[in-house]
Amino acid sequence: MPRVPSLRLIAGVCALAAATAGGGSALSGRETIQSATMTPGPWLEDDAPFFSSVVDARAAGASLPATNLAPRALVLPAGRGQWVAFDPDLLRVVAAWQGAGVTPTALAPGSYHKLDRKTPGGQKDLPAPDGRIVIATGLYAGWQTGDRVRFEDPRAPAPSPEEVGRGPIAAEDGRFSAIRLTRDGAVLEYEVAGTAVQEWMSGVPSRSDVVVRQFAVAPSTQVHWLVVGVPAPGHDVHLATSRGARGITLQAVTPAAGMAVQVVRVPAHAAPVRFAVAIHPADAVPAVALGPVPTTVAAPRWREAVTTRVTPSSSRDAYVVDDIALPMPNPWKRLVRVSDVQFLADGTAVCVTLDGDVWTARGVGSRDGEVQWRRFASGLHEPLTLAIRDEQVHVFDRNGIWRLRDTNGDGEADRHELFSNAFAQTADTREFPSTIRLGPGGEFVIAKGGQEATTIGKHNGSVLRISADGRTATVLGYGLRQPQLAVHPQTGLVTASDQQGHYIPSTPLHIVRDRQFYGFLSDILPKEVYPAPIAAPLTWIPHDVNASAMSQVWMLESRMGPLDNGLVHIAYNRPELFRVLLDLDRPVPQAAVVSLTSAFDYPPLNGAVNPEDGQLYIAGFQIVGWGTTATRLAGLGRVRYTGAPVTVPRQLTPMREGVLLRFDLALDRASAANAANFAAASWGYKRTFRYGSPNYKADGTPGVDPLSPSVAYVSADGRGVFVTIPGMKPVMQLKVAWTLKARDGREVKGEAYTTPYALEPFNPRAEGFGDITLDLTRREAPVGPVVAAAPTVDEGREVFVRYGCLACHAPERGAAPKMGPTLAGLYGTSRRLANRPEPVVADEAYLRQSIREPAAAVAEGFDRPGVGMPSFTGVLTDGQVESVILFIKSLK
């Protein structure tokens, strides 16, 4: 049965954040964060052949290009403290520098040792070269073809013309292909107007101040230009060519901007040519040796396997969550913040982590046995998701979709193929690569985060179909805040959730298709000026039930009893799985959701069915302070069907005369036929630029409209109930609750949420209820004195947990910072506000207003773009509000 989250909270998370910030302990795989046993090593490992990052070189200095920002960059070591950032969209070197890698301001490196460090929205605080830049380029193609070099961005502009994340150059002009890992480092492979180019970085023996870019260019009938860049003051560029490479010349070209740009002209050539460019101090020209193209595959970096165990749940529920311990500690002192799990045909799990790693895990299907974990790949750019096609791993990160190949069978990926970067990516910290799933024709469908705080990009907040060859991207839907999706493996139906926030009044579950608009607008756009009609969701879900929606999983080929072939929805704020009861045959498709299990102590993000055992596996992690009540940093669990009777309904259909429910077990007729065992209520939301929405009655006032179940009828097979409810109407949100017994005496209790758009008449005979006449007499509640219970601290604590306040507000002192202010010691203090000049006292009136109208008085430091607190007007009763105030006052 679903559990109530504990208020024990994140003491362990906070302890780990404090410990790792000071070099203390981190985690082992199973544990809550209290039992930390591993000090994480550096986020950028010493032997990394490359890593991926945004690279912001806009502050390189007046003598270098000023608009130099790369939302997508591969950062490669070039020997002895030298670094090169390569932009796979423009095929250019963004910059080369002497020093370390990049500043750790991005989400993954920034939170690696400070687990509560979140990134602000927008593009203001981005990773920059951590050292002295020796050369840089501007926003133009790094390789060009034709009679001259052009120093302008060749790509179509984004809706915001100043946005630099425009996607790749035209395929006929160039296309990045792969990173090949060799014993001599990473080799970049790409095409320039159809001509194959290989590039790798090297240094010069005994010199720590030289960066060398080496090239092997296939035969070509065209003239190509390599744009080397603008050297920093005191630096120059030296060209070295192989014997027989005639006519390759280094030139200085001065565009209108006035900075001399070093370029290399490569004339047409009938045979392959080799050359190199060295960036060096102007007073010390190096001797550059042209070595052979590296071909020997890199030696394995991670030879050891890490052994953990499966711990089965002792619960007797129909669906239980077994724990699969993550591989921590491990020989590389690597955090494993797992974000997705998918499966190979033999049941091997493949997991991806926020920190750019891919792990394989064998043995996850065992009842309580060992699991063998191995590292498979690293260097990816904050990936949150992956997919398997033809037994090949495809990871979606900020650079695009990578196909990871192990060409020599040593268990590690040595070839990272950029399967697709056909879509744009901005540097906005919240344009997450949220979900990738495989379609029935070999195509992929991806979802991208949509919160934009600086510019409007091409594909922020979109769901896109990527063609089976990776060359084209088609927008299926846009105007989504933070979409998370699923794709039906047979029909290709795309569903997506979104997250409540500005313009999203509560949590929706959508069908995404036909390039429809789904209602979200960036804060930087005119308020409530929508570009198209807003598509209606399958259903709304109240934010107190599911405030942070994640992806869905189709249960095809599962062995999960009544869940087989159905859809499961994942919730993050209060970790939970919901069964989605789809009704797609109506003129307006609709759905209902009902809780399946909440037996998670880690926050779930994504999942998949294991073909070996047919069970559902769920992975997830948190940045401490993200909106979740989970107490563990990360986890991998198996949702296992025990064979026990399933008490969750398989159908809930609102109809003109009431609500039809069907179950997968026989009900006790006496309890099912008692209308007093059912309850219902309805309400609406308002979509505005404000964060979330209050609940509204049908007359427009805050609150909910209670509905009065009249009579309950039981179907002939004992598994269905029709409850008549006078006055049924289409509404944005309908809640139906029940407390029944099964024929075997077990409790059948739950609640479901749906959005009825059209109410069809109920046909008793056709639905298996025989020839009955429905009684639609309105049953009014007994009239008598209503005595409201006095507010209490205990009720306030229960409301605080139930409605997810715990996810954003820590109730104890010394807790890690969260999305909202810490509440301990808050009452009675003076508060500075972001939207008022004068301070206020946090008295009862202030707390009451903050609960009902949170945008009216935002605490200083918490006015973050795209982040907010929903209004609880009409959601909480007056008594509940007063109880929450008492609870806050009790927090000393």
pLDDT digits (tens, 9 = 90+) for 267-296: 999 999 999 999 999 999 998 989 899 999
> Which residues does 585 contact at the CB level (< 8 Å), separation at least 6?
none
166-184: buried (b, 16+ CB within 10 Å) or exposed (e) per residue?
A: bbbbeeebbbbbbbbbbeb
Which secondary-structure segment (H or E) carries 250? strand 249-253
Q: Which of residues 850 and 712 earns the better pLDDT score?
A: 712
Asked if the model's pLDDT at residue 123 lies above 60, the reply is: yes
Torsion over CA: 306, 307, 311, 312 (sign) = positive
Q: Which CATH architecture has domain 793-890?
A: Orthogonal Bundle (1.10)
Report the distance separating Cα 587 and Cα 368, nearest Å.
47
pLDDT reported for residue 764: 97
pLDDT at 79: 83
pLDDT of residue 627: 77
* Per-residue model confidence (pLDDT) at position 35: 32
Q: Which of 618, 622, 647 is nearest to 634 (CA)?
A: 622
Q: How far apart are CA 211 and CA 78, in angstroms?
A: 6
Mean pLDDT of the 538-553 span: 95
Longest dimension (CA), the chain: 102
| Mean pLDDT calculated for residue range 298-306 | 97
Question: What CATH class has 651-754?
Answer: mainly beta
- The pLDDT of residue 30 is 32
Please report the pLDDT score of residue 37 as a whole number. Answer: 60
Which of 245-254, 396-405, 472-481 has the lowest average pLDDT? 245-254
Q: What is the pLDDT of residue 20?
A: 30
Asked if 425 contacts 399 with a C-beta cutoff of 8 angstroms, the reply is yes
Domain range summary for the chain, segments of one domain joined by +: 11-15+300-641, 51-281, 651-754, 793-890
Question: How much is the mean pLDDT over the chain?
Answer: 91
* pLDDT, tens only, 33-56: 333 468 899 999 999 999 999 999
**Does the pLDDT at position 815 exceed 80?**
no
Residue whose token pair is 């724990």: 323
Length of the chain: 892
What fold is seen in the domain 11-15+300-641?
Neuraminidase (2.120.10)
Percent of the chain whose pLDDT exceeds 70: 94
Does residue 678 carry a pLDDT above 70? yes
Cβ atoms of 653 and 634 within 8 Å: the answer is: no
> Residue 724 in contact with residue 709, Cβ under 8 Å?
yes
Q: What mean pLDDT comes out for the span 829-849? A: 85
Residue 315's identity, in one-letter code, is: S
| Residue 15 in this model has a pLDDT that exceeds 50 | no
The amino acid occupying position 583 is D
862 or 328, higher pLDDT = 328
| CA atoms 448, 51, 374, 307: torsion sign | negative
Give the pLDDT score at 788: 66
- The DSSP H or E segment spanning 174 is strand 174-182
The CATH code of the domain at 51-281 is 2.70.98
User: Which pLDDT score, from 0 to 100, does residue 5 have?
Assistant: 32
Phi, psi of 108 (to 5 degrees): -65, -60
Lowest-confidence segment of 177-186, 199-208, 409-418, 443-452 by average pLDDT: 199-208
Going by pLDDT thresholds of 50, 70 and 90, the confidence category of residue 297 is very high
Question: Residue holding tokens 């990527």?
Answer: 466
pLDDT at site 475: 98
For the cut 60, the answer to whether the pLDDT of residue 4 exceeds it is no
Lowest mean pLDDT of 8-12, 237-241, 460-464, name the range.
8-12
pLDDT score for 783? 47
pLDDT surpasses 50 at 859: yes
Q: What is the CA radius of gyration of the chain?
A: 29
Peptide bond into 604 cis (omega under 30): no
DSSP string covering 485-497: EEE-TTT--EEEE
| Cis, peptide link before residue 854, omega less than 30° from 0 | no
Per-residue H/E/C for 75-110: EEECCCCEEEEEECCCCEEEEEEEEEEECCCCHHHH
| pLDDT at residue 617 greater than cutoff 90 | yes
Run of H or E including 851 = helix 844-852
DSSP state letters, 343-362: E-TTS-EEEEETTS-EEEEE
